[in-house]
Structure 1
Amino acid sequence: MENQKGLPIGNEVKGNVVLAQADIKAPKAAPTQVASVTPDAKKRVAKKGELNPIFEGADFIDIIERDENLSIRTTSFVPQNTKPDKTFTIELNEGKTYIGQGVVYDGFLMDGGVPGQTIVVQEGDIVEMKIKNTGSVPHGASIHAAYTQTSKYVGKVQPGETKSVVFRATVPGVYMYHCAPGGHAIPMHVLFGQYGMMVVEPKETKYKLEEELGRKPDINLYLLQHEFYASGADAINGDLLYTAFNGKVFRYVEEPIVGRPGDYVRIHYLNIGPNRTSTFHIVGILWDYAYWQGHPDKFQYGGQSITSGPTDSWVVEFRLPPDEGSYLMLDHAVGATSRGSIGVIVADGKAEPGPKTYLAEAPAYTEAEKAEQIEKATRTISPFGIGNAEADRPVYYGPEQKEVFVKIIGNSFHPKVIEIEPGTKVTWINEDVFTFMAGEYSGIHNAIGINGPERFATPLLAHAETASHTFTTAGENEYMCAPHPYMKGKIIVRQPKVVEEPKGGCSTTGSPAGAAGLVLIALGLLFVRRRN
């Protein structure tokens, strides 16, 4: 039996840590999220040379027969009415989540946070993925573990809809899954936070260290590295504000991974990016084995680090040395380290024995905790909207600036907030390039006033097109993009300066001549005083 996260019942869940209640010697619990093959699934297993009965009546039967009898693994295709061994529901929407260090992130969410849930299945499982859109814009899914068509089933999920796709997990490894509504929205929704980790565990081939030690790991760490951006422009240019492991800046500094000297550790590592290359390293550790993309057959001995571009993944295995202390894990591209991707593994001889599992998903908070975090946040960032005053300060333009340019890039206005003099012309220029399709799926934008003293609306702008409006009335003008209503900007028009005229009589302070007169009078008085 499994709970709603797919974890075997009998495990104790504490936040992001799953503590199994048994060991091989005592006896051991089943691996996280991997269930035994159901009787229905057993009936579907076909011998080489025989067509699996799940394909009866399917199109392209000649291709299926060929692929089922190759020496390499088959594709993930199964008819969509195939009964799944495992079902997972992914909820997509927009909102706020706490990412640590007093910072709230206002972006696109999976399962209420960034990243989404950790999905673990076994090689050969028939998997159903349900994509539920509880947001206000179209969402979708791309599942990298699926060697088959997924976009036509879950590529465009409208608000309020739930769609699903069924596939067979045929190739073991560590994979990314992410939101993919289609077109321009695919990179935007990934940049804005909608992604997660999926692991296909090998069914028969064991990882080398497990084979040598004759047991499962003491610590199973699913580790996802990712980035946060304060604006769409920063996201497009790769100018990150924070990096994190599993949804929180410096998470495993505040909440170290705790094991014992001699523990067998397995890390399923995935660099989401979505822009930076990582070189993951643990101080004081050399890998016993490292497996490219997490595939058990693609292993190498030793090594100090693993190099990963966006979506690259590894499984690494090692033993904690017989020496108590802290082992620092970090991205050795140290600019990212200083922004949050660093953590600690503590070897403590008095620690509770494993097995322990740490999942690659956002920390779980109650609604009350979320509300308190949002209220007390020192900074709120949003890649497409306006964060708090500290995060998105106004850019000031003086009276000498007769025209101001606002770029539209990465589904955001840049700068987001400007302050100008009355009579200043604001010109928007669309720097997003993908202008095929329409609506959320396109990089076509406009600017339309939604609140403030002036009414304005530009036409829809394709790449490099411009439109302008001259602001004459003092006040704050909030605006958005009609095809992407989460994109927000603000134009503050200052009050015009009033020069007061003298009320009458002789004024000696209103002009340079008057000031010069005062100087002459003072010098005259000084001269008379000296003569006396």
Structure 2
Amino acid sequence: MTRLINPGLKQTSRRNVLRGSLLAGAAAMTGAASYAAPRRAPMHHANAASARLYKASAQGQAESRAKPADLSGYTRVRQELVAPPFAPEHEQVATGGPKIIEVTMETTERLMVVDEDTGASIWALTYNGSVPGPLIICHEGDMVELTLRNPEDSMMEHNIDFHASTGALGGGGLTHVYPGEECVLRWKATKPGCFTYHCAPGGAMIPYHVTHGMNGAVMVLPRDGLKDRDGNPLRYDSIAYIGEQDYYLPMDENGEYKTYEVAGDDYADSLDAMRTLTPTHSVFNGAVGALTGEGALRARVGETVLMIHNQANRDSRPHLIGGHGDYVWETSFSDAPLTGLETWFVRGGTAMAAMYTFEQPGVYAYVNHNLIEAAMLGATAHFVVEGEWNNELMEQVTPPRAFAS
């Protein structure tokens, strides 16, 4: 990468020089001129069009600041976010009036092993240190109030675009935080369903951040909870939150995965790998095998699990081998769920939900049913289910044996 120093950032160390390189280089490598803008300007934008978008979004917000939101009638509650595949504590059916759900996330850059067998690793760009970022849960009509913090030792600027929100760029133009900064964004959950959120600094940095793990999901429940097509209530015993992540890891001339000293060093190499549109890995929850073995999901016969699946960049086709989607919401909770599906669909840039009640014990594989990605690129998880076997549903009548031809 060309070491271009951007005067808009401090330059007291190699780390700060690299920050400037990333910000200016994002523009230079995509054919646009780099520029030294005022500190609050979005220096990650790789072209003038994206810069204008963010400027217009910020201007629109500034012009409306004289009209503060009416928060009367809202109760403030704090939601403690937890690491995937788990979900924060929440009500399935809302009690009381609308709430302001306060959450905090840090944009942590950390070195992660993607595949222990090959030694493949990545400087992951994360929310709260996990891939995917933590699941946020609220109800229709609630406000989500996010405090977004970028640690001082970060290499890059970050922000967040909520697909669940209403407003230009999903809040992306209002949440740019440089290392050592924080901001607060509040938005109203007006549409029930599961939605993606992701980092979107501008230009080529958008796919770079997303394919380095910087994405997650929000679930906006109807105030009266989930229901079937006839309006009957549906309840779940637990949530399995699964983030499918496509990685594009650069390789050297010998076919070995490259390693890098700090976050952002791989920028130029990653752009080349991303342009192939061919992922080197497609994994669940950050790494090959993250949800198998000791990390496998757990359930019991008779337990109903709500599987929330997020894919911020590519289409996917989840399938629970030996189970089904009893109720599947591929789009909105406002629509009647699909029922009895063998495989369901996740549109790139969305999150969705599928509900299943386990009827047999055993190890169930949950896979992307592009089986090349499941078996060869890592898109496999396991549910380990305990309980009594039911021969009425399945029985081995005769074990394998030789037969006469």
TM-score bracket relative to the smaller structure: 0.5 to 0.7
State the secondary structure of the residue aligned to 2:378: coil
Q: Are residue 239 (structure 1) and residue 278 (structure 2) matched? A: yes
Deviates more, 1:306-315 or 1:282-291: 306-315
Q: Are residue 169 (structure 1) and residue 186 (structure 2) matched? A: no
| Alpha-carbon displacement from aligned partner over 1:441-495 (angstroms, at most 9, x marks no partner) | xxxxxxxxxxxxxxxxxxxxxxxxxxxxxxxxxxxxxxxxxxxxxxxxxxxxxxx
Q: Which residue of 2 aligns with 1:361?
A: none
Q: Which residue of 2 aligns with 1:437?
A: none
| Alpha-carbon displacement from aligned partner over 1:247-284 (angstroms, at most 9, x marks no partner) | 23222222222222222222122222x2x421110111
Q: Are residue 137 (structure 1) and residue 152 (structure 2) matched? A: no
Structure 2 runs not aligned, ≥5 long: 1-75, 251-269, 389-405
State the secondary structure of the residue aligned to 1:305: coil
Q: Which residue of 2 aligns with 1:125?
A: 142
Q: Are residue 261 (structure 1) and residue 301 (structure 2) matched? A: yes
Letter in 2 for 1:260: R
Q: Are residue 333 (structure 1) and residue 352 (structure 2) matched? A: no
Q: Which residue of 1 aligns with 2:203?
A: 183
For normalisation by structure 1, the TM-score amounts to 0.49
Letter in 2 for 1:257: L
Structure 1 runs not aligned, ≥5 long: 8-14, 21-28, 42-83, 351-532
Q: Which residue of 1 aligns with 2:353?
A: 315
Letter in 1 for 2:301: P
| Alpha-carbon displacement from aligned partner over 1:156-214 (angstroms, at most 9, x marks no partner) | 322222122211101111111111122332222212221111111111252329975x6
Q: Distance in 2 between matches of 1:161 and 1:263?
A: 43
Q: Distance in 1 between matches of 2:278 and 2:104?
A: 33
Q: Distance in 2 between matches of 1:314 and 1:136?
A: 32
Which aligned pairs between 1:301-380 and structure 2 lie closer than 5 A?
301-321=339-359, 323-337=360-374, 338-349=376-387
Which aligned pairs between 1:62-461 and structure 2 lie closer than 5 A?
85-101=100-116, 103-134=120-151, 135-149=154-168, 150-154=171-175, 156-208=176-228, 216-231=235-250, 232=270, 233-254=272-293, 255-272=295-312, 274=313, 276-321=314-359, 323-337=360-374, 338-349=376-387
Q: Distance in 2 between matches of 1:16 and 1:142?
A: 19
State the secondary structure of the residue aligned to 1:186: helix
Q: Which residue of 1 aligns with 2:51?
A: none
Letter in 1 for 2:125: F
| Alpha-carbon displacement from aligned partner over 1:205-236 (angstroms, at most 9, x marks no partner) | 52329975x66312321221111221322222
Letter in 2 for 1:251: A
Q: Distance in 2 between matches of 1:189 and 1:30?
A: 29
User: Does the CA contact (< 8 Å) of 2:113 and 2:120 recur in 1?
Assistant: yes
Q: Distance in 1 between matches of 2:355 and 2:94?
A: 23
User: Does the CA contact (< 8 Å) of 1:209 and 1:288 recur in 2?
Assistant: no
State the secondary structure of the residue aligned to 2:325: coil
User: Does the CA contact (< 8 Å) of 2:81 and 2:134 recur in 1?
Assistant: no
Letter in 2 for 1:169: A
Q: Distance in 2 between matches of 1:295 and 1:118?
A: 17
User: Does the CA contact (< 8 Å) of 2:84 and 2:132 recur in 1?
Assistant: no
- Judged with a 3 Å threshold, the aligned counterparts in structure 2 of structure 1 residues 292 and 265 are, in CA distance, closer, same or farther, namely same
User: Does the CA contact (< 8 Å) of 2:328 and 2:337 recur in 1?
Assistant: yes
Q: Distance in 2 between matches of 1:241 and 1:111?
A: 24
Letter in 2 for 1:5: E
Letter in 2 for 1:289: Y
- Judged with a 3 Å threshold, the aligned counterparts in structure 2 of structure 1 residues 209 and 218 are, in CA distance, closer, same or farther, namely farther
State the secondary structure of the residue aligned to 1:308: coil
State the secondary structure of the residue aligned to 1:278: coil
User: Does the CA contact (< 8 Å) of 2:84 and 2:134 recur in 1?
Assistant: no
State the secondary structure of the residue aligned to 2:309: strand
- Judged with a 3 Å threshold, the aligned counterparts in structure 2 of structure 1 residues 264 and 153 are, in CA distance, closer, same or farther, namely same
Letter in 2 for 1:271: Q
Letter in 2 for 1:191: T
Q: Distance in 2 between matches of 1:298 and 1:126?
A: 25
Among 31, 36, 47, the alignment partner of 2:91 is 31
Letter in 1 for 2:243: L
Aligned length: 286
User: Does the CA contact (< 8 Å) of 1:292 and 1:298 recur in 2?
Assistant: no
State the secondary structure of the residue aligned to 1:175: strand
Displacement of 1:103 in angstroms is 4.2
Max radius of gyration: which structure?
1
Displacement of 1:137 in angstroms is 2.2
Q: Distance in 2 between matches of 1:210 and 1:18?
A: 29
User: Does the CA contact (< 8 Å) of 2:77 and 2:100 recur in 1?
Assistant: no
Letter in 2 for 1:140: N
CA RMSD in angstroms comes to 3.0
- Judged with a 3 Å threshold, the aligned counterparts in structure 2 of structure 1 residues 19 and 243 are, in CA distance, closer, same or farther, namely closer
Letter in 2 for 1:184: A
- Judged with a 3 Å threshold, the aligned counterparts in structure 2 of structure 1 residues 199 and 147 are, in CA distance, closer, same or farther, namely same
For normalisation by structure 2, the TM-score amounts to 0.63
User: Does the CA contact (< 8 Å) of 2:318 and 2:366 recur in 1?
Assistant: yes
